[in-house]
Amino acid sequence: MKILSSTYQDTSIWRFFSSVRLAVFLLITLAITSIIGTVIPQGETLQFYLETFGPNFFRIIKALHLYDTYHSWWYLTLLGLFSINLIICTLRRLPFTLKLCRRDSLSLDSERLLKMPFKKDWETKKQLDNDSTQSIISAFKKVGGKFRERDGVDGGRLFLAERGKWSYWGVYALHGSILIIFIGALVGLFLGFKGSVMLPEGETIDYIVNRQTGKRISLGFSVRCNRFNIAFYDNGAPKEYRSDLTVLNDDKEVFHKSIVVNDPMKYKGITFYQASYRAIPEVTVQVSNSDNMQRSLTISAFQKTIWPEEQLSFSLIQYQPNVHGRPAAQIWIADNEGRAGNFWLLEGREREFKQSGNLYKMSLSTAKQRYLTGLQVKKDPGVWIVWLGCTVLIAGFSVVFWVPHRRLWLWIGRRKGRTFVILSGQTNKNKLQLEKDIKKIEEALNSNLGVGQ
């Protein structure tokens, strides 16, 4: 230990990184800088910040990544310093704790025991016989804890009842738990993903879109939304959003779950959450070409509908349920050479349009709502590590503050020609309990030693 502390442990940089002073400084700095991201909206477009905050402030926001404060280089640096502080501080304290744990509690002399703040002693002229010694010891043992005994360094016999020595490791668990949580977060960051998908009722999808990068992520299986449902309370407030999902593997249905907010579907480490929904209109139209060949087409806003014979594609730009008392739809149309146009269609009124030199007729027959369910999709293999860290944090914290290291000594021997019995105790927390323990043994000893009280 001597060698350790005089060589590299005492360099100033090592001392700096292991100081509680730095920890306090970092905690305060983190507290103050964390405010920034709650005041400035996060994750908006750069354009937004320029417009909201003006060019001067914008430059600061951009340089310091204040649009994503908690992932900015300087915030992560603070967290990194914090972790280093924690690790080095722990390493530096380790030898002291080990020394504390290895210290020999049975090498005390009776003089030391008599100087402890919690102590009680008895002296008798007569020698203690074996029976009363045994009953004194068994009364002492009743207090609990690890029991050891040895011949005293200054004669006599010393007994020790020790409890909670391990509690010195609580603070290591507590500090370690923070690192465990960080590790869990990193595992999730590098080995997991977060994405989302808008899935129309009745449709199947085998990929999702990464929320950060916008890239497609293949799921390795498919998910179908069978139905989406909203329920309302009598007062009109939403009561439940429910999506009925089926997982398919090579077109075989392998799993089924109806999910609501707070009750996601988990499949192969990937979790699907009910996050949002959208209702899109869908119209059915009748179209015919100049040869009077007729087709019925369903057109919606998020897909192209193709009329293969004519090589035309359609989509819905806008839907108005009430234009002069009737539904109306704005239809987008394109041919296979990319020429596109659009026009309005009013229910009950057939309309002609020209595309690629040909003349067509179209009329609107029905319009209805179709739901898309908005799913958050996530894979996070680190989440269990985070929960483990949280458990260790609470356990460690409880140990630090509520598990005392308590030692009780009993010394029986002869001093100055008399027989002495000394009872002393020490604890690093909960003095009240120690006093109670001592009181209990004291009473037992009083009756054993024939001291009337």
Partner 1 sequence: MTFSSSYLFGLTTFIYMGAAALYLIRWIFRVRKVGLLATFVTISGLVIQTVGIGLRWIESYQLGYGHAPLSNLYESLVFFSWITVLVYLIIEWQTRQRVIGAFTTPFASLSMAYASFSPNIEDKIQPLIPALKSNWLIAHVVTCFLGYASFAVACGLGIMYLFKNRYSGASGGLIGVMPDCKILDELIHQTIIFGFLWLSLGIITGAIWANDAWGTYWSWDPKETWSLITWFVYATALHARFVRGWTGRRIAYLSIIGFVSVLFTYFGVNFLLSGLHSYGSQ
Is residue 196 within 8 A of residue 278, CB to CB? The reply is no
Q: Is 86 in the site for ligand HEM (CB under 6 A)?
A: yes
- Which of 175, 379, 405, 406 touches ligand HEM by CB under 6 A? 175
Q: Is 383 in the site for partner 1 (CB under 8 A)?
A: yes
User: Which tokens in the block code for residue 334?
Assistant: 């394109």
Length of the chain: 453
Decide whether 396 or 425 has the Cβ nearer to partner 1. Answer: 396
Q: How far is the CB of 85 from ligand HEM (least distance, A)?
A: 4
Backbone angles phi, psi at 128, to 5 degrees: -80, 130
Number of residues binding to partner 1, judged by CB under 8 A: 47
275 interacts with partner 1 by CB under 8 A: yes
- At its nearest, how many Å lie between ligand HEM and the CB of residue 184? 15
The entry of partner 1, ligand HEM, none that residue 412 binds, CB within 5 to 8 Å by partner kind: none
Q: Which stretch binds ligand HEM (CB under 6 A): 174-182, 315-323, 362-370, 374-382?
A: 174-182
Asked if 227 touches partner 1 (CB under 8 A), the answer is no
Residue 271 touches which member of partner 1, ligand HEM, none, C-beta under 5-8 Å by kind: partner 1
Residue 174 in contact with ligand HEM, rule: CB under 6 A? yes
Told to check if 176 binds partner 1 by CB under 8 A, we report no
Q: Which of 113, 400, 421, 423 binds ligand HEM (CB under 6 A)?
A: 400
Residue 116 engages partner 1 in binding (rule: CB under 8 A): no
Of 9, 189, 24, residue with least CA distance to 91: 9
> Taking CB under 6 A as the rule, does residue 89 contact ligand HEM?
yes
Q: Which amino acid is at 336?
A: N
Number of Cβ atoms within 10 Å of the Cβ of 399: 19
Phi and psi at residue 68, to the nearest 5°: -145, 60
Look at residue 263 and give the partner it binds from partner 1, ligand HEM, none, a contact being a CB closer than 5 to 8 Å depending on partner kind: partner 1
Is position 401 an interface residue for partner 1 (rule: CB under 8 A)? yes
In this structure, are strands 326-335 and 340-346 parallel, antiparallel, or unpaired? antiparallel
Nearer to ligand HEM, 26 or 345 (CB): 26
Q: Indicate whether 263 belongs to the interface with partner 1 (CB under 8 A).
A: yes
Residue 185, C-beta contacts closer than 8 angstroms, at least 6 positions apart: 382, 386
As a whole number of angstroms, the distance between CA 140 and CA 440 comes to 9
Shortest gap between Cβ of 239 and partner 1 (angstroms)?
7
Among the listed residues 3, 13, 20, 63, the single contact to partner 1 using CB under 8 A: 20
Q: Find the shortest distance in angstroms from Cβ 74 to ligand HEM.
A: 18
Considering only 158, 386, 403, 423, the residue that binds partner 1 (CB under 8 A) is 386
Residue 171 binding: pick among ligand HEM, partner 1, none (C-beta 5-8 Å cut-off by kind) = ligand HEM
* Residue 369 Cβ vs ligand HEM, minimum distance, rounded to whole Å: 50
Cβ of residue 228: shortest distance to partner 1, in angstroms? 13
- SS3 label, residue 290: coil
Residues 54-83 within binding reach of partner 1 (CB under 8 A): 69-70
Distance in angstroms (rounded) separating the CA atoms of residues 372 and 418: 92
For residue 392, state whether it binds ligand HEM (rule: CB under 6 A): no
Rounded CA separation 281/372 (Å): 11
- Binding residue (CB under 8 A) for partner 1 from 239, 304, 418, 439: 239
Of the pair 156, 396, the CB lying nearest ligand HEM is at 396
How far apart are alpha carbons 297 and 361 in whole angstroms? 13
Single residue of 36, 114, 116, 171 touching ligand HEM by CB under 6 A: 171
Residue 45 touches partner 1, criterion: CB under 8 A:
no
185 scored as a contact of partner 1 (CB under 8 A): yes
The footprint of partner 1 (CB under 8 A) covers 20-21, 23-24, 27-28, 30-31, 34-35, 37-39, 41-42, 69-70, 185, 194, 233, 235, 237-241, 260-264, 271, 273-275, 376-378, 383, 386-387, 390, 393-394, 397-398, 401
